[in-house]
Amino acid sequence: MSDYRDELIKKLDREIRRWERETLPKSLKRFPERMDRFTTLSGIEVKRFYTPLDIKDFNYFERLGLPGEYPFTRGIHSTMYRGRLWTMRMFSGFGTAEDTNRRLKFLVAHGETGLSLAFDYPTLLGIDSDDPLAHGEVGVTGVAVDTLKDMEIIFDGINLGEVTTNMTINPPAPILYSMYLAVAEKQGVPMDRVGGTTQNDPLKEFIAQKSYIFPPEAAVKIAMDLVEYSVKHTPKWNPISISGYHIREAGSTAVQELAFTIADGIAYVRHLIERGLDVDSFAPRLSFFFDAHINFFEEIAKFRAARRMWAKIMKEWFNAKKERSLWMRFHTQTAGVSLTAQQPFNNIVRTAIEALAAVLGGTQSLHTNALDEPFRVPSEFAAKVALRTQQIIAYETGVADVVDPLAGSYYVEWLTDKVEEEAWKYIDRIERMGGMIEAVRKGYPQKELTEASYRYQREVEEGIRKIVGVNIFVEEEDEEIRNVPLLDIDPIETEERQKARLKEIKRSRDNARVESALNNLRSAARRGENIIPYVLEAVKVYATEGEIMNVLKEVYGVWTEPIIY
Amino acid sequence: MFGMTTTVTKRYKVLVAKLGLDGHDRGAKVVARALKDAGFEVIYTGIRQTPEQVVEAAIQEDVDVIGVSILSGAHMTLMARLMELLKEYGADDIPVFLGGTIPIPDLPKLYEMGIRDIFLPGTSLNTIIEKVFEAAKERRSKSRY
């Protein structure tokens, strides 16, 4: 066998040199290549074609293994989508709780299989709708949540024992998690049956998404309180979704997205171990979230490399013993940043290609962006087309019928190795800085992103990166951009409705109980205790999100970002 | 480097501001950097600025141009307030540019507020640099008399 392989390698080497002398020059003369250098979106140079020569030291069992087995390159489950399709989870929310309740029911009626809540900016930052800072932002990019009442309405008629819900929420994650549990309790669903995800990933907030509140160390402490509480009381909940998505959208390369996300994950694992938790008690509940960008093969390589890297880290660095501790389970969203305002219907095609990459990369759940998202949160029509895109991939194309179908492609395996190799270099650098919390404080990943996004924009300007409708095939009279139907929302009316409800809650609740719950939270936070039980107590008596956040800000302080551009 | 074939000899001053609560600072930073590379003096406010803070910074720094970036959808409310404040402080001679995810139907109302130009997603950096340069030059030539 190995003689045969050596023979093949030798022959290939000879044959390629011959091909370069005899065949190639003729082609180049007739059809000069379109570019001097072909690179992936992350700047990795790719060759004309790949052969066994490019992966000549490839050890199948070391690099790939079998599906559902270490190092999980081929997927975390042995039958993958033959057994169960990925969860079709559409990120949605706008206006008030009633508007969002209707949208969730609409999506479920059209075949959505998991829920995902988008909150407005005031909610993301822990600001109540009646705060002057919230003016103009209430219910615009997501649903407004001030108290438990809003969450009760959002999930009215939706059984929390039967669906799982992702909540994209970070500094206020303990509050929204507690509200969700409180709604479940009112519905009679026990805690150990409640399933879903809180994003709750503070480090990427400093790197990319910028909805930070607390300083890095406090932010990590609070987030890990949630992880610690959740693994004990809500075993089906994913208390954290370690996110590369926002890092990528803020301008990183695929390699940086992968490396920074894993480095964030390492920081959390270390923190939890230092708290005295056994790695196998929490590792199976860590989940991840990646971007599916437009450079097709590079994305697939990234997903495959991600699983392999995480499994190795958990096994070799942290001595995890349970198989599930080695699994990198991830959600994927197609790249919002790849969508164009120009000729917006083309966005359906971009999203379909990106979604296909996510599926070929073995994602556990998927959100597909809507064509109108360069302008506003999606209309019902646009959201439905995006959901249908996933259903077409799942039920018509046959790509879900074979596990990891691109394995063994010389190119895909070479690229998977290459992406992994480059990502390790970043991880090594961050380790030498003392880990991600320290790197974030120094502004290292922030600076890397600024550089990468500027480099990319220059490449677009110079025409090296081509975008249909933006720098090629531009239409002076773009009919579509004017005719695309947008969701009709009236932010002023929404804000008034929301403020009226909040006022009514503040009037009708037992304010003495609110006061005492907030005081208990304050003392617990000061003592350095896990804050979750106290947050839970506060939300149940209808303390507002802003009131709870203000207590936490008082104790933990707030973060001011060093300005880097 | 970008665009400007003429060197910007006078160091025109530009305030790049992230107005509102959203943290999408990629565009603002890329534009700030491009303007700096083209020879402008650039002040970048960082994220989560209120209209009051932006106007105060613009007046204090005596800038020639204000460039605002909003991707939270709150542009109608926030820009109306910003333009109103500029007028109130007698600083409405400072040209204001807006960039971000702005739906087409909102454009006429935004122009009515007195915004000089709106850069939709996909606008080239060269276009931005040229328009900012022209606006800054115009303002200086007017204020001389």
Residue B2 domain-assigned? no
- In this structure, are residues A453 and B26 in contact, taking their beta carbons and an 8 Å threshold? yes
Q: What pLDDT score was predicted for residue A57?
A: 87
Using a CB-CB distance cutoff of 8 angstroms, which residues of chain B are in contact with residue A341?
Answer: 101, 120-122
Would the CB atoms of A374 and B24 count as touching at under 8 Å? no
Distance CA A180, CA A186 (A): 10
Number of domains in chain B: 1
Structural domain range at position B75? 13-143
Residue B123 domain-assigned? yes
Sign of CA dihedral A515, A519, A522, A524: negative
Would the CB atoms of A124 and B21 count as touching at under 8 Å? yes
Task: Output the domain CATH number for residue B37.
Answer: 3.40.50.280
Q: Which domains does chain A have, with CATH numbers?
A: 2-60 (no CATH), 61-461 (3.20.20.240), 500-556 (no CATH)
Residue B126 domain-assigned? yes
- Strands of A261-339 (E only): list them: 286-292, 329-334
Using a CB-CB distance cutoff of 8 angstroms, which residues of chain A are in contact with residue B74?
Answer: 121, 136-137, 140, 491
Q: Which helix (H) or strand (E) holds A43?
A: none
φ and ψ of B111, to 5 deg: -65, -35
Would the CB atoms of A486 and B72 count as touching at under 8 Å? no
Using a CB-CB distance cutoff of 8 angstroms, which residues of chain A are in contact with residue B46?
Answer: 561, 563
Using a CB-CB distance cutoff of 8 angstroms, which residues of chain B are in contact with residue A131?
Answer: none
Would the CB atoms of A121 and B77 count as touching at under 8 Å? no
Using a CB-CB distance cutoff of 8 angstroms, which residues of chain B are in contact with residue A492?
Answer: 77
Helix then strand count (H, E) for chain A reads 23, 9
- In this structure, are residues B92 and B55 in contact, taking their beta carbons and an 8 Å threshold? no
Q: What pLDDT score was predicted for residue B1?
A: 47
Helix then strand count (H, E) for chain B reads 5, 5
Does the pLDDT of residue B8 top 80, yes or no? no
What are the strands of the beta sheet with A365-367, ordered from one edge? A237-238, A195-198, A164-167, A114-117, A87-92, A365-367, A329-334, A286-292, A240-243
Cis peptide before A344 (omega within 30 of 0): no
b/e per residue, B67-101, with b = 16+ CB within 10 A?
Answer: bbbbbbbbbbbbbbbbbebbeeeeeeebbbbbbbb
Q: What pLDDT score was predicted for residue B5?
A: 45
Distances A335 to A247, A250, A295, A387, B130 between C-alpha atoms, Å? 11, 11, 10, 15, 30
Q: What rounded mean pLDDT belongs to chain B? A: 92
Does the pLDDT of residue B42 top 60, yes or no? yes
> Is A485 in the B-facing interface, judged by CB distances under 8 Å?
no
> Is A490 in the B-facing interface, judged by CB distances under 8 Å?
no
Interface of A with B in 344-403 (CB under 8 A): 374-377
Q: Of A419-433, A504-518, B85-99, B129-143, which gets the smallest average pLDDT?
A: B129-143
Residue B6 domain-assigned? no
Residue B8 domain-assigned? no
Would the CB atoms of B77 and A136 count as touching at under 8 Å? yes
- Compute the nearest-CA separation of A422 from chain B (Å): 24
- Helix axis angle for A173-187 and A216-233, nearest 10°, is 20
pLDDT in tens, B62-82: 999 999 999 999 999 999 999
> Is A110 in the B-facing interface, judged by CB distances under 8 Å?
no
Would the CB atoms of B73 and A458 count as touching at under 8 Å? no
Residue B65 domain-assigned? yes
Distances B133 to A436, B127, B128, B137 between C-alpha atoms, Å? 40, 10, 8, 6
pLDDT in tens, A333-366: 999 999 999 999 999 999 999 999 999 999 999 9
Distance CA A230, CA A222 (A): 13
Distance CA B117, CA B110 (A): 9
Q: Which of A133, A137, A209, A479 to mutate to test the interface with B (most CBs of B within 10 A)?
A: A137
- Compute the nearest-CA separation of B73 from chain A (Å): 6
- In this structure, are residues A303 and A361 in contact, taking their beta carbons and an 8 Å threshold? yes
Residue B1 domain-assigned? no
- In this structure, are residues B49 and B97 in contact, taking their beta carbons and an 8 Å threshold? no
- Helix axis angle for B75-88 and B51-60, nearest 10°, is 40
Partners of residue A242 on adjacent β-strands: A288
Q: What angle do CA A224, A227, A231 make, to 5 degrees?
A: 150
Copy the structure tokens of residue A214.
């607390």
Distance CA A474, CA A294 (A): 19
User: In which residue ranges of chain A is pLDDT below 70?
Assistant: 1-2
Residue B5 domain-assigned? no
pTM exceeding the 0.90 threshold for the entire prediction: yes
Distance of CA A69 to the CA centre of its chain: 24
Q: What pLDDT score was predicted for residue A479?
A: 85
